[in-house]
Structure 1
Amino acid sequence: MFPQTDRLSLRRFRPEDAPALAAYRSDPEVARYQSWASPVPVEAADALVRSYAAGDPAEPGWFQYAVELKAHGALVGDVAVCLHENRMQAEIGFTIAPDRQGRGYATEAVGAMLRELFDERGLHRVSAECDARNTASARLLERMGFQREGRRPEFTWLKGEWTDDLLFGLLAERWRALTA
């Protein structure tokens, strides 16, 4: 339920995570392709953390995992999973603090989450979508084995403009072949 790697713990959010969450979600470059507006005040982050902590990762709907660096106990980002009602498929998303990007944390956290979803929970499919301009996220998904399934032109109205969405999918069979 709470994946681990050598460097990272994916865990439930805790109240003390609010300042770090507010800091990285307030960065305009981090927020650029996301649904929230920056800055994110600590009070708003505190409410988000309480909401995230109250969720149940085994139940359908969104659950937000805190991504913690084991060596320092520092919050470096989050991974969101939306478990489908049928409990056989999910959608995934991720955010990493700007000062922690480029160190493989997103790849490691997403990989750990995919192992949990496919290998432990036995899901059939995991999907993801991102703003077409978010090339770093699209590349990460492709490195993890996701296949691009489509592009929805001018599908999302985001921060005063229409944006294209890229759609990705990864089937359990492909995951098993890639990780064998």
Structure 2
Amino acid sequence: MIDDLRLRPVGEDDLPEFYAHQLDPDANRMAAFGPPDPTDRRAFAAHWVRILTDPEIVARTVTIDGEVIGHMLAFPADGRTEVSYWIDRPRWGRGYATRALGALLREITRRPLYARAAVDNVASLAVLRRCGFVVSGTDRAYAPSRGHEVDEYVLELPG
């Protein structure tokens, strides 16, 4: 039986789950570009206030059988639209990120879309590739979760 994966608009009731997800040190290291201090509740709240009050950002909660397992975002960045996502680590490896990103891409129809991932984030790169993204460049940026600069791929979902 396939789990009932759904996307819905983010509600304030989802935020405690998102906060709990970001406390996982292994997930933060893999994501690389998360918050400098995942335990900082004020920074977390301010971040989500910005997301939820910006009409240009599409923010979706990912649920499986009604349980919150992560979120998907589409947001403006340097004149283009990027996507990002976070799935709770105990749910990794089950295809949820791929299915959820696919659902977001059906909702966000403008193209091209872009994404970024640390070059060593093999799982996220696989998700993006399965959804049609291709590497279009590289960049190097400071990764707060790792405390140093890392190489990242810039990926594009062509039009």
Q: TM-score range by the shorter chain?
A: 0.7 to 0.9
User: How far apart, in 2, do the equivalents of 1:45 and 1:157 lie?
Assistant: 19
In structure 1, the residue matched to 2:155 is: 168
Q: Which runs of 5+ in 2 are unaligned?
A: none
Larger Rg: 1
Decide whether the 8 Å contact of 1:14 with 1:49 is kept in 2: no
| Partner residue of 2:72 out of 65, 69, 79 | 79
| Residue 50 of structure 2 corresponds to residue 67 of structure 1 | no
Q: Match of 1:157, SS?
A: strand
User: Percent identity between the aligned chains?
Assistant: 29
User: How far apart, in 2, do the equivalents of 1:167 and 1:84 lie?
Assistant: 12
Q: What does the per-residue CA deviation read over 1:106-162, in whole Å, with 9 as the maximum and x for residues that have no partner?
A: 0011101111122xxxx131111111111111111111111111223xx21223212
Q: What is the letter of the counterpart of residue 60 of structure 2?
A: Y
In structure 2, the residue matched to 1:37 is: 36
Question: Number of residue pairs matched?
Answer: 153
Residue 17 of structure 1 and its aligned partner are, at CA, apart by 1.5
The CA RMSD measured in Å over matched residues stands at: 2.4
Q: What is the letter of the counterpart of residue 12 of structure 1?
A: P
TM-score using structure 2 length:
0.82
| Partner residue of 2:84 out of 75, 84, 93 | 93
In structure 2, the residue matched to 1:149 is: 136
Q: Structure 2 matches for 1:108-127, cutoff 5 A?
A: 108-118=99-109, 123-127=110-114
Q: Which runs of 5+ in 1 are unaligned?
A: 1-5, 173-180
Q: What is the letter of the counterpart of residue 14 of structure 2?
A: D
Structure 1 stretch displaced more, 128-137 or 47-56: 47-56
TM-score using structure 1 length:
0.73
In structure 2, the residue matched to 1:3 is: none
